[in-house]
Structure 1
Amino acid sequence: MKALIPAAGQGTRLYPHTHTKPKAMVRLAGKPILGHILSSLAETPIEEVVIVVGGSMQDQITEYATELFGDAFEFTFVEQERAEGLGHSIYQAESAVRGEPVLIALGDMLFENGYKQFLDAHDDCRPTDGSIGVKRVENPEHYGVVGTNDRGTIEQLVEKPSEPISDLAISGIYIVEATGMLFDALQMLVEEDIRGADAEYQLTDAFQRMVEQDCDLTTFTVENWYDCGRPETLLDANRVLLNRLETNQSNGLEESVVVPPVDFGAGVEIVNSVVGPNVSIDDGVQVENSLVRDSIVGRNAELLGVNLEVSIVGDNTTVRGKPDHLDIGANSSIQL
């Protein structure tokens, strides 16, 4: 089985941070989102990973994946030249995936317990043409949803329905055995120009086409997931992962207090400050005379005399003064 990671999205909900890096390279809890995905996949039997990239910053993804995970996986990179939706992104990987089973892991979604549990759940569903992770939610109109029969077989899939057919939300993890039928369905959507309400080709519509072609699709339960494409949920994921993962310490503490969990990059200097809990600090950061908690601080940032909480600070940013909540992109300088 291969893994397929669509990571070509523009990440508009994470502006300004994604002006200077792909969404999958936004950092939390010690590494980029993509790093957490690949680390989790490394705990499974999967050895081949296909990543869909796009845009002018795709080299950041290819270089990171091959340099840090080249010993764990054989990588194939395919390009999505135009951002036309998740279905279109998956369709670009046809030559690398068709005919083989695949686990599709969205490039901005993290799961609390990793991917091995999903492969085990899929095995429990066999024989099946594919299985989709779902979770019961209170507001299904905001998600793709599935309707199932008494045997748990999927009978209908709808993307963000105004009148939900169920409360089973698609959680962004898919395991497909019948990849030929998946790509046939995606090809039909593209050739007939069938788009969703947002004018994009939807993966949900492709699965609906598979159901109409008598594919046997089932579901498995996902307990918790984090959509890292939004600042608030990115910070939620940072908190959870910092509490679950082993964090790095800093040798650059001077008259300062660290309240765990905190993850420090290399070359970090903390002077006369209190840092933590739930803080991720990238390489080369300088913090002086500050209080920092529940935040993500980018590479080579400077925090000088600030009281920072529930904030995301971009790379190469200098913040002076006493702000409380910030969402600042890279290469910025702010004095308050």
Structure 2
Amino acid sequence: MVRIAGKPILGHILTQLVETEIEEVVLVVGGPMKDQIREYVMAHYTDEFDVSFVNQENAQGLGHAVYQARDVVEGDTALIALGDMLFNNGYGTFLEAHRDLPSVDGSIGVKEVEEPEHYGVVDVGEDGFIRGLVEKPDDPPSNQAISGVYIVQDTPALFDALEYLIANDIRGAGDEFQLTDALQRMVEQGGTLGTFEVEDWYDCGRPQTLLEANRVLLSNLDTNDGDVDQAVVIPPVDFGTDVDVVGSVVGPNVSVDDGATISNSIVRNAIIGREAGVTDVNLCESIIGDNASIEGKPYSLNVGDNSVIDL
């Protein structure tokens, strides 16, 4: 639930989905944040969608997560979006690109990358259909990386493939049940999968990419100065509620979550979490988690939630 540019990453994803024809959203939740996710979505998006929640008791990969939604989704066309991926061109663009494809059982967003061995990769035949998929291969068949958005029309075939993997304990990269492997089985069983191009793609599970997404999203917002009158604010900046900033320079490209404090510091190109404290530091290209406390001299830091650092 990292907040950037005024809302959590999940909020940016759901806001993009509001602009499409999608009417129902199923969220697969688990871990310590699941109650917070439920509360946030119920407070902000139930007027926009028919919302359902499905629990994933044990995280065993993306394929396993998608399989948990089988009883809610099977039979309907599904757009599968990952909770840590943001896209500039938006889900409406992806749905339109999918409709423009010849008759397919599904389609996958892809982007050319320089190091495909770090991603799931597709091999596309001359007919434009996917003939193979592999997760983080040592010898990639192409540089077309899977970007983390999928549109599946034949959801029964997808869930059959996932059930086959899970029932036979066929695990892929990371010893997890991979959605990529289920889609590969669909192809092997005669399914047709196409691709559509993804332009700007931000994997927010990576610190530097999260900071880049923050910069891009802030550039599209008017600076929210909050209730800050003892600081120099250099746009674009977004402050949450009850933020206390004293004797500091904040910005550009800074998101500050609710209840955070910044004192006698310079903060730029950074994300400051809820109830975090920053004192006497010069921060740049940094992510400070919720309830973290930073005191000392300038460093570039990526600090987890509930951390206390004395520099």
2:176 to 200, 203, 216: 200
Among residues 80, 88, 91, which one is paired with 2:64 in the alignment?
88
Distance 1:56 1:284 in 2: 21
Q: Which residue of 2 aligns with 1:48?
A: 24
Q: 1:330 aligns to what SS in structure 2?
A: coil
Taking the aligned partners of 2:126 and 2:193, their CA distance within structure 1 comes to 13
| Aligned partners of 2:248 and 2:264 also within 8 Å | yes
Q: How many residues align?
A: 311
The alignment's TM-score, normalised by the length of structure 1, stands at: 0.89
For residue 224 of structure 2, what is the aligned residue in structure 1?
248
| Secondary structure of the structure 2 residue equivalent to 1:172 | strand
**Partner AA of 1:31 in structure 2:** K
Aligned: 1:308 with 2:253: no
Alpha carbons 1:145, 1:160 under 8 Å: kept: yes
Provide closer, same or farther for how the CA distance between residues 247 and 178 of structure 1 changes in structure 2, counting only shifts above 3 A: farther
Q: Compute the displacement of 1:205 (Å).
A: 0.8
In 2, Cα distance between the equivalents of 1:228 and 1:197? 20
Alignment map for 1:99-138 (pairs within 5 Å): 99-138=75-114
Query: Is residue 320 of structure 1 aligned with residue 295 of structure 2?
Result: yes
Query: Which residue of the partner structure matches residue 37 of structure 1?
Result: 13
SS at match of 1:198: helix
Question: Given the superposition, is the C-alpha separation of residues 324 and 56 from structure 1 closer, same or farther in structure 2, using an over 3 Å criterion?
Answer: closer
Q: In the alignment, does 2:159 pair up with 1:183?
A: yes
Distance 2:240 2:140 in 1: 44
CA gap of 1:288–1:171, structure 2 versus 1, over 3 A, is same
Give deviations 1:195-231, integer Å, cap 9, x for gaps.
1142111111111111111111100000121111122
- Give the superposed CA RMSD: 1.4
Q: Are 2:266 and 1:279 aligned? A: no
Which region of structure 1 is more displaced relative to structure 2, 68-77 or 99-108?
Answer: 68-77
Equivalent position to 2:244, from 263, 269, 279: 269
Write out per-residue CA displacement over residues 134-184 of structure 1, whole angstroms, 9 at most, x where no aligned residue.
Answer: 011111111111111122111111111111111111000000100010001
Alpha carbons 1:253, 1:269 under 8 Å: kept:
no
Cα displacement string for residues 262-313 of structure 1 (whole angstroms, at most 9, x for unaligned residues): 1111122222211111100111222222110011011222222211111111
- C-alpha distance in 1 between matches for 2:117 and 2:308: 40
* More deviation, 156-165/172-181: 156-165
Say whether the 8 Å CA contact 1:52–1:80 is kept in structure 2: yes
TM-score w.r.t. the length of structure 2 is 0.96
- Counterpart for residue 64 of structure 1: 40
Identity of aligned residues (%): 61
Aligned to 1:223: 199
Q: Which runs of 5+ in 1 are unaligned?
A: 1-24
The AA in structure 2 aligned to 1:58 is K
Q: What CA deviation, in whole Å up to 9, does each residue of 1:57-93 have, x standing for no partner?
A: 3111111111111111111111111111111111110
SS class of match (1:311): strand
How far apart are residue 324 of structure 1 and its match? 2.1
Unaligned 5+ runs, structure 2: none
CA distance in 2 between partners of 1:212 and 1:234 (Å):
36
Corresponding residue for residue 154 of structure 1: 130
Kindly report structure 1 stretches of 4+ aligned residues shifted beyond 6 Å: none
Is 1:232 paired with 2:211?
Answer: no
